[in-house]
Amino acid sequence: MATPKTSLHLVVVLLLLSVSVSNAGHHRPRTLHVPVFPRDAVFPPPPVSTKRNGLLRQRLAADAARYASLVDDTAAASGHDRRLHSPVYTGIPFETGEYFASVGVGTPSTEALLVIDTGSDLVWLQCSPCRRCYAQTGRVFDPRRSATYRRIPCSSTQCRALRYPGCDVGVTGGCEYVIAYGDGSSSTGDLATDRLAFANDTCVHNVTLGCGRDNEGLFDSAAGLLGVGRGRMSISTQVAPAYGRVFEYCLGDRTTAASRTSYLVFGRAADQLPHAAAFTALLTNPRRPSLYYVDMNGFSVGGERVTGFSNASLRLDAATGRGGVVVDSGTAISRFARDAYAALRDAFDARAAAAGMRKLEREYSVFDSCYDLRGRPAASAPPIVLHFAGGADMALPPENYFLPIDGGRQQRRRTAYHCLGFEAADNGLSVIGNVQQQGFRVVFDVEKERIGFAPNGCAV
């Protein structure tokens, strides 16, 4: 349903004003903090086995489907704690590349693990009774047991704000939502409001969310999605009257329990960044307004700028909505336009050869630049820096781009190869994924139209 431009502002205002915040101390914190943990820290993966490469292929296949959903246009859919927090877990035990936020839903609260998704807006979770639900970790939310659950009527501004609104023709006359992703995943159910509880005993009331009755796709183990895109229905927009249009996260190393310092925070405390933080402009794509675009202008390998590709390859064409670089929490492996990726890979290979590193002849899954280090530390890999407009740089630690791959058994010993952890994008859209973001404090400051990166950001 098309909404006149003047009505959109009214929709936003009415939607945001309906949200209220409270906590046990009756003082509203200035920020909402959501702790984030790697998946392995909470759900230990199976022991290393000869099936590791099989699991890797499954995870990369799921990641490719996630990237497809971004490319496909149908994917749009005071002395007191001053932050709003939620725990975060990685998806490794569930063989996916996402990170999960732990949020309480309803009264009393039902804990829900929700995929943190900067690429979409709607907050939704599976609900009981369910016509079709996939297997999730933990109890499925039952709105009949929540004293604060309310269906939203079809005539509401929230319902009209949906891209594909529907209406229950039964007695309730409630609003129904349909959200479909480019990878074939989908969720359909009731649009409602309820309370969300965060880790610092802060509750956000009257949050608009989807109660999914028919769900399928690549959401195995997660209860649903926590949409933190730039749209009107996202949780970051809904809490903006209390916390401002700014949030940050730090996604820790998914393979170590030391990543319990990972977090997701909503609020202006994101300004309190170390001097090492670098900001670049946040761009807007009128055709994909929910995504977080940045003006990335190149790479360096071994201290030298990478050449041999067109700068237009990474540039957003606002007229057509094509191209550009998106910072995304749901995609694992970064993808760059094919000529840019090829130039980056060739520069890396040249530096590695000069350092005496042995490149393998074969490819591993999607990776076409792999090495047998033969006792060398992974830290000996040529350093890589991502460059953004305004002089902002993102110097990646080796573990963020030189990824260990199980090479199988040779001469009665298991070999561990390492591969350059990027892919080529053939669909125009480049993405900075969460593997490359690991350990960085990433700030999404919509108010000031900027995105910031600070290394070693999980130790805050």
User: Which residues in the chain land under pLDDT 70?
Assistant: 1-18, 23-28, 35-62, 65, 72-97, 171, 182, 218-220, 254-260, 269-276, 407-415, 459-460
Span 273-454 CATH architecture = Beta Barrel (2.40)
At 458 the pLDDT is 81
Predicted pLDDT of residue 37: 54
Whether 414 and 371 have beta carbons less than 8 Å apart is answered as no
Which pLDDT does position 87 carry in this prediction? 56
DSSP state of 140: P
Q: What is residue 259's predicted lDDT score, i.e. its pLDDT?
A: 47
Q: Which amino acid is at 89?
A: Y
Q: Which residues are identified as catalytic?
A: 117, 328
The residues spanned by each domain of the chain are 5-269, 273-454
Q: Residue 460 burial by CB count (10 A; 0-12/13-18/19+): exposed, middle or buried?
A: middle
Distance CA 343, CA 421 (A): 14
Rounded to whole angstroms, how far apart are CA atoms 279 and 446?
A: 12
Number of neighbours of residue 53 by Cβ within 10 angstroms: 15
Condensed to tens digits (0 to 9), the pLDDT of residues 398-434 reads: 999 999 887 655 544 556 789 999 999 988 899 999 9
Tokens of 350: 């040249």
Full-model pTM: 0.86
Question: Phi first, then psi: what are they for 275, rounded to 5°?
Answer: -60, -20
What class has domain 5-269? Answer: mainly beta
Q: Do domains 5-269 and 273-454 have the same CATH topology?
A: yes
Work out the end-to-end distance of the chain between its first and last CA atoms, rounded to an integer number of angstroms.
Answer: 44
Confidence (pLDDT) at 376: 82
Residue from 159, 132, 129 nearest 219 by CA: 132
pLDDT of residue 39: 53
How many other C-beta atoms can be found within 10 angstroms of the C-beta atom of residue 115?
A: 23
List of E strands, 228-357? 246-250, 263-267, 278-283, 293-294, 296-301, 304-305, 316-317, 322-323, 325-327, 334-337
pLDDT at 148: 98
